[in-house]
Amino acid sequence: MLSKSRLHCRKWAFGVAGVLAFAAFCPRAMGQFGGFGKKIMEKAQKVQEASKPISVDQEKDIGREVSAKVIAAFHVYPNDALTRYVNEVGQTVAAQSERNEILYHFAVLDSDDINAYSAPGGYVFITRGALALCQDESELAGVLGHEVGHIAAKHVIHEIENANKKGALASEIGADVGNLTNNAPGSSAYKEALQNIVKNIITNTMFGKGLPAKDEYDADERGVRYAHDAGYPADGLEHFLKAFQTATGQEGKRSYMTTTHPPVQERNSRMEQEIARQNWQDADRPQLADRFATFTAMLKPKAGS
Amino acid sequence: MRMKTGIRRAVGRMAVLMGISMMVVLILPGLGASQQDQQNQPDQQKQDQTQTDQQPQKKTGGFLGGIKKMTGSSSEQTKETASAGTKGALDGKQIADMTPTAADRQKVTDMENYSVPQDDLKKFQNDGHLNPNK
């Protein structure tokens, strides 16, 4: 049973919600109600502006800025042959993605950390540490496929848009998305909004709490599918994650992947189920361990060291 | 005391009624406007697509061309931090607060412009018995 004062509060809340809902639906008509109406109209307009979807060009601007910061932090690994090889594998896998209105770009980061990153708009990075852990080309294809999957599904972009819709009035991100989608590229408001969104992506999604688990499972499923459709064995990513678990668990190597992704066992179990469901257990497919070793030999720890 | 409570209740009721009546009376034109917004959306997507199609032809090669010349930049100043980061010191906030240098931005541009020639990619795929297309 609600107390009288709580009941009274609820009535007020309903009333205010009603006015706000009305204002959101019909901002122009609110102009009739003078100064108070104007204020509500401005708020409603803010909600409406912040609800605009992020365009492909805006997505690329975000990705470009995220990539610049990632490169500033980790540096690109200076090996032309390896860069070309990663691009060849990456382009082969990305050709199987559903999203082909953007171009995918691949680079190797000079970092021991075992990880791969993707930024909106088509930017994919894999670390030297992750490459050293891969045993063959099919594992690399699985890892790159997972990252391409995030971009193809616009996971990060949808995360920003959803956070925005949930709290456009209360949260900063709401104002930032509104300023990004409603201002001309190059304007100071656009640039400021871009910087804030990029900081949010880096601190929360890439190196913080990560994406929702459902997005990671979705990227796994896409990665498996792209690798399989490209002609690789479908279980490359699964093998890589097993090696990752051993390396981070027993050898104590660090990775943001442990904090930003769901547990490896759960991911692998889901991938195994998907591969079985699709009947993709094809033992004859090329793992291409020799070709992989040709380009990555210098990354492997030398015997006895 | 009673009177005050009565006034409060009356004001509360008025607020509820005002909200509901405004929604009912004026919601229809608002819905009309939002439908119009939705109809405009495909046009925006089309525009995005056209802009994407108009991208210039990508250059080939030269992806890491400038990397060895990168000196005296703020990126160079943060190299110590970055190296430490790879061993566990660099967190998300530090990365987010980085100020990329012109050289760092150039690497992103190089990354965008890099492409494997189509014939070479085809050969790579053939050698590995892979599928070139979807």
Those of residues 17-56 in A touching chain B at CB distance below 8 A are 17-19, 21-22, 24-29, 53, 55-56
- Contact by Cβ (8 Å): A267, A261: yes
pLDDT at B45: 45
pLDDT at A21: 57
- Contact by Cβ (8 Å): A195, A171: no
CB contact under 8 A, A14 and B134: no
CB contact under 8 A, B131 and A230: yes
- Contact by Cβ (8 Å): A132, A97: no
Q: Which residues in chain A have their CB less than 8 angstroms from residue B134's CB?
A: 95-96, 229
- Taking the Cβ of residue B36 and every Cβ of chain A, the question of whether any pair is shorter than 8 Å is answered with no
- Taking the Cβ of residue A286 and every Cβ of chain B, the question of whether any pair is shorter than 8 Å is answered with yes
- The terminus-to-terminus CA distance of chain B in angstroms comes to 76
A122-156 pLDDT, tens per residue?
Answer: 999 999 999 999 999 999 999 999 999 999 999 99
pLDDT at B122: 97
- Average pLDDT of chain B to the nearest whole number: 62
In angstroms, the CA A54 to CA B104 distance is: 25
More confident residue, A5 or B78: A5
Q: State how far residue A268 is from chain B, nearest Cα, in angstroms.
A: 24
**Nearest by CB: A18 against B12, B23, B131:** B23
Q: How many Å is the maximal CA-CA distance in chain A?
A: 81
pLDDT at B70: 28
In angstroms, the CA A230 to CA A96 distance is: 6
pTM (two decimals): 0.71
More confident residue, B66 or A161: A161
- Taking the Cβ of residue A209 and every Cβ of chain B, the question of whether any pair is shorter than 8 Å is answered with no
Those of residues 41-100 in B touching chain A at CB distance below 8 A are 41, 44, 48-49, 51-52, 55, 58, 63-64, 67-68, 75, 78-79, 82, 85-88, 90-100
B89-133 pLDDT, tens per residue?
Answer: 578 999 999 999 999 999 999 999 999 999 999 999 999 999 988
Q: State how far residue B91 is from chain A, nearest Cα, in angstroms.
A: 7
Work out the percent of chain B whose per-residue pLDDT is above 70. Answer: 38
Blockwise average pLDDT, block size 10, chain A, 305 residues: 52 58 55 66 66 90 97 97 98 96 96 94 97 97 98 95 66 75 90 92 88 96 98 97 86 63 92 96 91 92 59
pLDDT at A284: 87
Is B17 a residue whose pLDDT tops 60?
Answer: yes
In angstroms, the CA B31 to CA B34 distance is: 5
CB contact under 8 A, B92 and A204: yes
pLDDT at A14: 58
Residue to substitute from A88, A131, A229, interface B, most B β-carbons within 10 A = A88
In angstroms, the CA A176 to CA A160 distance is: 10
pLDDT at A6: 54
Lowest mean pLDDT among A239-248, B6-15, B37-46: B37-46
CB contact under 8 A, A57 and B51: yes
